[in-house]
């Protein structure tokens, strides 16, 4: 009989990789137009890469100008019949899609992780469930539009072009398609260059749901496909989520054309910690705010504003907590921080981080062993940051947090608002009155109090200033897809 020694052990979590043998991925995917997968007019197939391994996963057809034109024709032809369906029938198609996403949840989560690099825990617990929930929520609005938008009569816009980013591929597709379709529009979705796969699986789901042909088209490709879509005649609206730079291009391209437009762009959101915050929970919120999805989040809390009286305590706790982050194989269920989405994005992060060091901020990066292949960046903390530093002003879109201090509530508000962006903010305080006053003073579209990065289909999301305009979620998310007739 053994008596266990009374010294401590090191308890390693064994590798816990999610299985991939259940996946049913094709070697090659065509475009999805008119309810069917088809070859592009000019054959162009590009592999989509797993950023954790740099291995190709499947070959993807990229759309050309003639494909864009055809998709718009097909969508235009399908739109009147789609809009003329009894509202509740339209809703029932969306309920079907929601349930199918739930049924194929595991598969979708694994594919999302393989294609984009985010930890399986996130795609499984956040991306996929929220995508299903979004379809479920908007399914129920289809026959209740008169309650969601106050008007005597509304009608759909017609055909909408929707361009989504690579950080939450399926979820962003759901944010765009669900309200658009619920309101009676038909849609052409352009997924991001590096993450087309879950959109293509969503196309399969649309087929399984027997969605009428032409209601949804999926056109993968790079930025030129998006640019073509934006400039093509025959669309009533563009909805875009992505960088402010591209958003600006799109807004310019639409000038004078009388089209509807919504933009959800970049951010440099302030996460504000007051001295009377629940400090340990604030540290969790900071970590969640900037390291969730490797910081590839438009609303990431990338500027950490700490009240000076608790500055050292928070930094010490934050640094210790960062040391517990598990960085590595995104498919491992215990991974907290996955791969950077692409070589290009990694280079952008590295450039800005180098600038941060050059400008005099103090950098600390978590010591971790990173795999040989793939794109990786260790979670990084910058202290001694000044408001003028590039790392305090520009969006890094990576696992890098810049710490600034403030003395008073008024100063925190001023610093937080001192940005061209205005997407989100976090407020950590135990005092309700303060939380609400700061919330009302912040020029940000989403304010999280004592939490961060919480999303719900019922809660409107969108930015102020150069973070974009228009809202997604809740009844506010219906307006951008309807025209008030009376």
Partner 1 sequence: MSRRLAHVDRVGIEERAAQLGARSIKTTAKQQGIRLAVSVIDLTTLEGADTAGKVRQLCAKAVCPAPTIPEIPSVAAICVYPSLVAVAREALAGTGVRTASVATGFPAGQVSLEAKLRDTEDAVAAGAEEIDMVISREAFLAGDDVRVMREVARVKDACGDAHLKVILETAELGSYDHVRHASMLAMEAGADFIKTSTGKAAAGATPGVCLVMLEAIRDHVERTGRIVGFKAAGGVSTSKAALHRLVLVKETLGDEWLTPDRLRIGASSVLNDLLMQYAKTESGRYGRSEDFSRE
Partner 2 sequence: MARLPVRKTYKLWIGGAFVRSESGRSDVVGDVNIPRGSRKDVREAVAAARRAAAPWAARTAYNRGQILYRAAEALESRRAQLIAVLDGAEPGARARGETQARAEAEVDAAVDVLVHYAGWTDKLQAVLGGINPVAAPFLSFSLPEPTGVVGIVAPDEPSLLGLMAEVAPALAAGNTVVAILSESAPHPGLDLAEVLGVADIPAGVVNLLSGRRGELAMTLGGHRDLNAILDASGDASLGAELDRLAAETIKRARHGNAATSYDQAVDNALERIAAVTEMKTAWHPVGA
Active site amino acids: 264, 298
Contact between 323 and partner 2 (CB under 8 A)? Answer: no
Query: What H or E segment, with its residue span, contains residue 80?
Result: helix 65-84
Residue 73: strand, helix, or coil? helix
DSSP string, 184-237: T-EEEEE--TT--HHHHHHHHHHHHTTPPTTSEEE----HHHHHHHHH-TT-SE
Question: Measured from the CB of residue 193, what is the shortest distance to partner 2 in angstroms?
Answer: 33
Q: Which of residues 263-282 bind partner 1 (CB under 8 A)?
A: 276-281
Give the residue from 472, 406, 479 showing the smallest Cα distance to 183: 479
Dihedral over Cα of 381, 386, 391, 394: its sign: positive
Among 70, 118, 121, 389, binds partner 1 (CB under 8 A): 121
Contact between 309 and partner 2 (CB under 8 A)? Answer: no
CA dist 20 and 411 (Å) reads 50
Contact between 4 and partner 1 (CB under 8 A)? Answer: yes
Decide if 287 contacts 321 (C-beta within 8 A). Answer: yes
Contact between 334 and partner 1 (CB under 8 A)? Answer: yes
CA dist 280 and 7 (Å) reads 28
* 243 interacts with, out of partner 1, partner 2, none, CB within 5 to 8 A per kind: none
Among 62, 82, 136, 461, binds partner 2 (CB under 8 A): 136
Q: Which of residues 433-452 bind partner 1 (CB under 8 A)?
A: 450-451
Contact between 285 and partner 1 (CB under 8 A)? Answer: yes
* 369 interacts with, out of partner 1, partner 2, none, CB within 5 to 8 A per kind: none
Q: Which of residues 88-127 bind partner 2 (CB under 8 A)?
A: 88, 91-92, 95, 99
Contact between 324 and partner 1 (CB under 8 A)? Answer: yes
Question: Measured from the CB of residue 311, what is the shortest distance to partner 1 in angstroms?
Answer: 16
Specify the stretch interacting with partner 1 by CB under 8 A; choose among 13-21, 169-177, 291-299, 458-466: 13-21
Dihedral over Cα of 156, 157, 163, 165: its sign: negative
- The contact mask relative to partner 2 for 442-481 (x = CB under 8 A, - = no) is ---------------xx---------------xx------
* Cβ closest to partner 1, residue 313 vs residue 411: 313
* 91 interacts with, out of partner 1, partner 2, none, CB within 5 to 8 A per kind: partner 2
| Alpha helices (H) along 323-417 | 343-358, 390-393, 409-417
How many helices and strands, by DSSP H and E, does the chain display?
A: 16, 22
* Cβ closest to partner 2, residue 357 vs residue 436: 436
Question: Measured from the CB of residue 134, what is the shortest distance to partner 2 in angstroms?
Answer: 11
Contact between 237 and partner 1 (CB under 8 A)? Answer: no
Tokens read off for 162: 């929707």
Give the residue from 149, 114, 117 showing the smallest Cα distance to 25: 114
Give the residue from 9, 4, 10, 13 showing the smallest Cα distance to 326: 13
* Cβ closest to partner 2, residue 66 vs residue 146: 146
Terminal C-alpha separation, the chain: 84
- # residues contacting partner 1 (CB under 8 A): 30
Q: How far is CA 227 from CA 44, 162, 170, 367, in A?
A: 17, 12, 21, 41
CA dist 79 and 94 (Å) reads 16
Contact between 233 and partner 1 (CB under 8 A)? Answer: no
Specify the stretch interacting with partner 2 by CB under 8 A; choose among 138-146, 261-269, 381-389, 420-428: 138-146
* Cβ closest to partner 1, residue 325 vs residue 476: 325
DSSP string, 138-189: HHHHTT-HHHHS-SS-EEE-SEEEEE--SSSHHHHHHHHHHHHHHTT-EEEE
Instruction: Please give the residue ranges that form the binding site for partner 2 (CB under 8 A).
Output: 88, 91-92, 95, 99, 133, 136-137, 139-144, 147-148, 409, 431-434, 436-437, 440, 457-458, 474-475
- Contact residues for partner 1, defined by CB under 8 A: 1-4, 6-14, 16, 121, 125, 276-281, 284-285, 324, 333-334, 430, 450-451
């Amino acid at each position: 009989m053994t008596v266990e020694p009374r010294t401590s052990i090191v308890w390693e979590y064994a590798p816990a990789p999610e299985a991939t043998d259940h996946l049913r991925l094709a070697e090659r995917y065509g475009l999805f137009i008119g309810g069917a997968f088809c070859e592009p007019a000019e054959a162009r197939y590009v592999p989509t890469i797993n950023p954790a391994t740099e291995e190709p996963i499947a070959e993807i057809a990229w759309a050309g100008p003639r494909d864009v034109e055809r998709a718009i024709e097909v969508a235009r032809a399908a739109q009147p019949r789609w809009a003329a369906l009894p509202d509740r029938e339209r809703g029932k198609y969306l309920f079907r899609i929601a349930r199918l996403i739930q049924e194929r949840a595991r598969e979708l989560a694994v594919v999302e992780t393989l294609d984009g690099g985010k930890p399986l825990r996130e795609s499984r617990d956040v991306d996929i469930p929220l995508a299903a929930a979004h379809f479920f929520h908007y399914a129920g609005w289809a026959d209740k539009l008169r309650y969601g938008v106050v008007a005597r009569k509304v009608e759909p816009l017609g055909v909408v072009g929707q361009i989504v980013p690579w950080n939450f591929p399926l979820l962003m597709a759901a944010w765009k398609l669900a309200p658009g379709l619920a309101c009676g529009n038909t849609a052409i979705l352009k997924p991001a260059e590096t993450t087309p796969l879950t959109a293509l699986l969503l196309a399969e789901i649309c087929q399984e749901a027997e969605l009428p042909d032409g209601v949804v088209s999926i056109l993968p490709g790079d930025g030129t496909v998006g640019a073509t879509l934006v400039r093509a005649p025959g669309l009533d609206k563009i909805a875009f989520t992505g960088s402010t730079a591209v958003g600006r291009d799109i807004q310019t391209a639409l000038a004078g054309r009388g089209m509807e437009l919504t933009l959800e762009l970049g951010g440099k959101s302030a996460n504000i910690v007051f001295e009377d915050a629940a400090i340990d929970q604030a540290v969790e919120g900071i970590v969640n705010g900037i390291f969730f999805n490797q910081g590839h989040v438009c609303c990431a809390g990338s500027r950490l504003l700490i009240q000076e009286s608790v500055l050292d305590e928070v930094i010490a706790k934050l640094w210790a907590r960062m040391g517990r982050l598990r960085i590595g194989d995104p498919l491992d269920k215990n991974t907290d921080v996955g791969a950077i989405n692409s070589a290009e994005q990694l280079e952008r992060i590295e450039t800005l981080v180098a600038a941060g060091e050059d400008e005099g901020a103090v950098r600390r990066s978590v010591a971790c062993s990173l795999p040989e292949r793939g794109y990786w960046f260790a979670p990084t903390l910058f202290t001694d940051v000044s408001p003028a530093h590039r790392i305090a002003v520009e969006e890094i879109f990576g696992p890098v947090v810049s710490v600034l201090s403030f003395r008073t509530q008024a100063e925190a508000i001023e610093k937080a608002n001192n940005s061209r962006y205005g997407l989100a903010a976090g407020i950590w305080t135990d005092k309700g009155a303060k939380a609400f006053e700061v919330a009302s003073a912040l020029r940000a579209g989403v304010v999280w109090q004592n939490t961060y990065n919480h999303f719900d289909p019922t809660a409107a999301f969108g930015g102020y200033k150069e973070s974009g305009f228009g809202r997604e979620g809740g009844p506010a998310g219906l307006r951008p897809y309807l025209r008030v007739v009376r």
